[in-house]
């Protein structure tokens, strides 16, 4: 009998077909959103799952599903996992690092450009039929090339953004991170380390790429927004909750900073209503890794984690160590 797994989110049909060769698969190609109790109930009877961040894996979910051996996240971020609780329960946790780094860095840069150059705001103006003449100050935004970018969170994606900024746009790169990069990496990214406060006061554009945790909750709140230049832009491609969205909406409305670009939101897919009414913000629905090629690579890596774990007792990109499980 094949092991039973739950694929809790829609994925590419051919990746799903590959999984069906190894597993008895319950899919969710309809893309239903489940409450935590529905997710716990759906997981019942399955020894593994492939999921995205909407579904939490914590002590309560694990206690209700002691048969689960592995949960594969189709994301690099894994703040939906309580990894210590998974380790205690002997459940392997996996994510999808590396395959999305450059694509996500591209998107961070796209959102920065759209924000600084007021692309969404000006497109709405054009579509509304308001464009009557050319004016010297029409949607005049902030310079990107040659300006200073401050990157908070200098992991693989942050470094990708730094390389684009320094080598492609001649920007000065400053960064803040829990630990400093090696001198070699700093040189390659042309990046200088700064305290968070100094970075916020210095940067023309602030880019957030830090993983979400209790420690990084509201890395940017009212106090931090007040430190930024009134001409500065803020881009969040990290996770909802890194920014206090209510405080940001107020700062945008009062033009205490110039503009923001957000791909992630506190409580998404809900978006703070005040963000929907301020003009100087570009909003996208958590799509930073969304190219066909990269989403396919993420789905395949998550699937391969399940396949290799059940066939060889090891996963390709594990986040914890638990006793192996060969078929």
Cβ-contact 182, 212 below 8 angstroms: no
- Binding part of the chain for ligand GLV, among 36-44, 73-81, 147-155, 200-208 by CB under 6 A, reads 73-81
Q: Find all residues with CB under 8 Å of 313, minimum gap 6, and list them.
A: 324, 325, 326
**Beta partners for residue 235, in sequence order:** 207, 261
**Residue 56 interacting with ligand GLV (CB under 6 A):** no
Residue 217 is among the residues annotated as catalytic for this protein: no
- Binding part of the chain for ligand GLV, among 36-44, 75-83, 185-193, 315-323 by CB under 6 A, reads 75-83
Q: According to CB under 6 A, which one of 77, 90, 155, 318 is a site residue for ligand GLV?
A: 77
Indicate the residue among 244 and 268 with the shorter CB distance to ligand GLV: 268
The per-residue b/e assignment along 3-18, b for 16 or more CB within 10 angstroms, e otherwise, is: bbbbbbbebeeebbeb
Residue 286 is among the residues annotated as catalytic for this protein: yes
Rounded Cα gap, residues 210 and 118, in angstroms: 25
Indicate the residue among 65 and 289 with the shorter CB distance to ligand GLV: 289
| Count of C-beta atoms within a 10 Å radius of residue 273 | 10
Rounded Cα gap, residues 6 and 303, in angstroms: 11
**Residue 76 interacting with ligand GLV (CB under 6 A):** yes
Q: Which residue is nearest to ligand GLV (CB)?
A: 77
Per the residue annotation, which of 46, 176, 205, 286 is the catalytic one?
286
Indicate the residue among 112 and 144 with the shorter CB distance to ligand GLV: 112
Indicate the residue among 258 and 301 with the shorter CB distance to ligand GLV: 301
Rounded Cα gap, residues 70 and 305, in angstroms: 9
Per the residue annotation, which of 186, 205, 268, 325 is the catalytic one?
268
Catalytic residues: 239, 268, 286
The contact set with ligand GLV (CB under 6 A) reads 75-77, 100, 289
């Amino acid at each position: 009998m094949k092991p039973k797994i739950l694929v809790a989110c829609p994925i590419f049909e051919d990746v799903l077909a590959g999984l069906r060769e190894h597993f008895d698969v319950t899919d969710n190609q309809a893309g239903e959103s489940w409450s935590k109790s529905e997710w716990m109930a759906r997981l019942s009877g399955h020894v593994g799952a492939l999921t995205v961040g909407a579904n939490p894996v914590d002590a309560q979910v694990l206690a209700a599903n002691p048969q689960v051996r592995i949960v594969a996240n189709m994301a690099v971020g894994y703040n939906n996992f309580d990894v210590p609780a998974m380790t205690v329960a002997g459940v392997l946790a996996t994510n999808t690092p590396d395959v999305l780094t450059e694509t996500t860095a591209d998107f961070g840069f796209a959102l920065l450009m759209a924000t600084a150059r007021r692309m969404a705001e000006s497109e709405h103006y054009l579509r509304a039929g308001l464009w009557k003449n050319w004016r010297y100050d029409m949607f005049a935004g902030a310079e990107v090339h040659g300006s200073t970018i401050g990157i908070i969170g200098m992991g693989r994606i942050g470094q990708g953004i730094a390389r684009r900024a320094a080598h492609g746009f001649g920007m000065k790169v400053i960064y803040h991170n829990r630990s400093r990069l090696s001198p070699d990496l700093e040189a390659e990214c042309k990046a200088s380390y700064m305290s968070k406060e100094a970075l916020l006061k210095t940067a023309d554009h602030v880019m957030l790429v830090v993983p979400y945790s209790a420690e990084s909750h509201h890395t940017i709140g009212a106090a931090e927004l007040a430190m930024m230049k009134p001409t500065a832009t803020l881009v969040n491609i990290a996770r909802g909750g890194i920014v206090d969205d209510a405080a940001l909406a107020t700062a945008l409305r009062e033009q205490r900073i110039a503009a923001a670009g957000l791909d992630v939101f506190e409580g998404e897919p809900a978006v703070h209503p005040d963000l929907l009414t301020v003009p100087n913000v570009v909003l996208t629905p958590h799509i930073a890794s969304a190219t066909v090629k990269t989403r396919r690579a993420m789905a395949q890596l998550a699937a391969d984690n399940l396949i290799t774990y059940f066939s060889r007792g090891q996963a390709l990109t594990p986040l914890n160590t638990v006793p192996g499980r060969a078929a």
